[in-house]
Amino acid sequence: MSKESSQRARTAGLHRVVVIVDENSNPFELGCATEVFGLRRPEIGRELYDFRLCSPAPATAMRDGFFTLSGVAGLEAAETADTLIVPNRPDVEVPRRPAVLDAVRRAHARGARLIGFCSGAFTLAEAGVLDGRRATAHWQWADSFRARFPAVRLEPDVLFVDDGDILTAAGSAAALDLGLHVVRRDHGAEIANAVSRRLVFAAHRDGGQRQFVERPMPDAPAESFAPVLAWALERLDSPLTVQDLAARAAVSTATLHRRFRAQLGTTPLAWLTGERLTLARRLIERGEPGFETVARRSGLGTAANLRTLMRRETGITPSAYRHRFGPPEPGAHRGG
């Protein structure tokens, strides 16, 4: 069996993610997409996606001529995508190729999920699929984006926007945030955490772009909170407070808030809540039947609080989450 035939057999029936690579595309985001959606996952024990690269040309010059990409599928591969990742390029004022924009429109019309990393929001907007929709783009291009596409509801202060069937990420590294969010949405928190561990990247990074806007650098870097975070993660079921974290870090609560904002882009309370929700999702995925127990073991207190926070975070109730990601009941069949 050829290598290509082996790949097709291995990924048959999986959700297909296709990335369009166009002239002057950024290689970093291409690498992020490949890392999250394209690599084999022996630590998980199964494949997650059928991943393809395609391009409108046999040879595509990447950003600033760093290298030329060849040997990938033609643009027709986009026609079979369940999720289509559109090109992102630093030359945002240069129109995209009509063939690429047509492929994006056709994918949207047939119900495929669309993803734009960084300046990929310009591709989506130019294709006309973002009118009246929420999106984000790199803060550096926010004014240019608003001027060109006033019908799009730009949210420049977030890492990514999930608007259902169209998702956009702010900057280059935010492609990883959005990629892991998509894995979490498709396969649950347990699998997303496994992928994030492989990447050595936070599975859930709260906050937004404000922390990355140009500003004077501090005189000295703040000390890492890694030991404090590790300590807190082992005690999520305890009634930890912001004051407890500050005491552990031997700083005032005001200093704790300031350093959390600088290093993590979020507040101590939001970080604690996010980690507790991640633990709650993992408990549900592993088969914990009682939501009161899940709430207690994750530090969220009550089933009612768990329900409120999960609906706000994931858009679904704990019961719906268990039905989608929890272990199937004996004799039951869960449709794919």
Q: Provide DSSP, 278-300.
A: HHHHHHHHTT---HHHHHHHTT-
Q: What is the pLDDT of residue 205?
A: 52
- Residue 210, by phi and psi: left (phi above 0), alpha (psi -120 to 50) or beta? alpha
Q: Which residues of the chain are under the pLDDT cut of 50?
A: 1-2, 5, 9, 206-222, 331-336
Q: Does 241 lie in the same domain as 183?
A: no
The upper half-sphere exposure of residue 313, i.e. CA atoms within 13 Å in the direction of its Cβ, equals 27
Q: What is the pLDDT of residue 216?
A: 31
The helix/strand/coil state of 50 is strand
Q: Does 38 lie in the same domain as 130?
A: yes
pLDDT in tens, 232-272: 888 898 888 899 999 998 999 999 988 888 777 788 898 89
Which domain range does residue 166 map to? 10-199
Beta strand pairing call for 59-61 and 68-70: antiparallel
Q: Does 53 lie in the same domain as 178?
A: yes
Q: How many domains does the chain have?
A: 2
Distance of CA 183 to the CA centre of its chain: 7
Q: Does 277 lie in the same domain as 151?
A: no
Q: Does 247 lie in the same domain as 134?
A: no
Task: Encode burial over 268-304: b for 16+ CB neighbours within 10 A, e otherwise.
Answer: beebbbbbbbbbbbbbbbeebeebeebbebbbbeebe
Q: What is the pLDDT of residue 92?
A: 87
Selection from 199, 178, 193 nearest residue 115 by Cα: 178
Residue 257 lies in a domain: yes
Q: Does 138 lie in the same domain as 90?
A: yes
Q: What is the pLDDT of residue 10?
A: 54
Q: What is the pLDDT of residue 221?
A: 37
Residue 34 lies in a domain: yes
Q: Which of 165, 199, 233 is the last residue of a domain?
A: 199
Please, which residues have CB within 8 angstroms of residue 111's CB and are 6 or more apart in sequence?
165
Residue 1 lies in a domain: no
Output the CA–CA distances (angstroms, integers) from residue 15 to 18, 29, 48, 187, in the order listed: 10, 20, 8, 11
Total Cβ atoms within 10 A of residue 175: 29
Q: Does 164 lie in the same domain as 37?
A: yes
Q: Which of 199, 231, 249 is the last residue of a domain?
A: 199
Selection from 91, 92, 88, 110 nearest residue 20 by Cα: 88
Q: Does 150 lie in the same domain as 86?
A: yes
Residue 266 lies in a domain: yes
Rounded CA gap, 332 and 202, in Å?
34
Selection from 105, 45, 117, 46 nearest residue 81 by Cα: 105
Secondary structure (DSSP) of 72-112? -EEGGGGGG-SEEEPP--S-TTSPPPHHHHHHHHHHHHTT-
State the CATH number of the domain containing residue 241.
Answer: 1.10.10.60
Distance of CA 162 to the CA centre of its chain: 9
Contact in structure between 158 and 208 (CB atoms under 8 Å): yes
Q: Does 195 lie in the same domain as 73?
A: yes
Output the CA–CA distances (angstroms, integers) from residue 183 to 81, 94, 124, 195, 276, in the order listed: 16, 32, 21, 8, 19
The C-alpha angle 47, 178, 93, rounded to 5 degrees, equals: 120
Residue 217 lies in a domain: no
Residue 334 lies in a domain: no
Residue 83 lies in a domain: yes
Q: What is the pLDDT of residue 52?
A: 95
Distance of CA 214 to the CA centre of its chain: 24
State the CATH number of the domain containing residue 113.
Answer: 3.40.50.880
Please, which residues have CB within 8 angstroms of residue 98's CB and are 6 or more apart in sequence?
none
Selection from 159, 10, 171, 165 nearest residue 88 by Cα: 171
Q: Does 241 lie in the same domain as 276?
A: yes
Residue 204 lies in a domain: no
Q: Does 179 lie in the same domain as 120?
A: yes
Q: Does 276 lie in the same domain as 155?
A: no
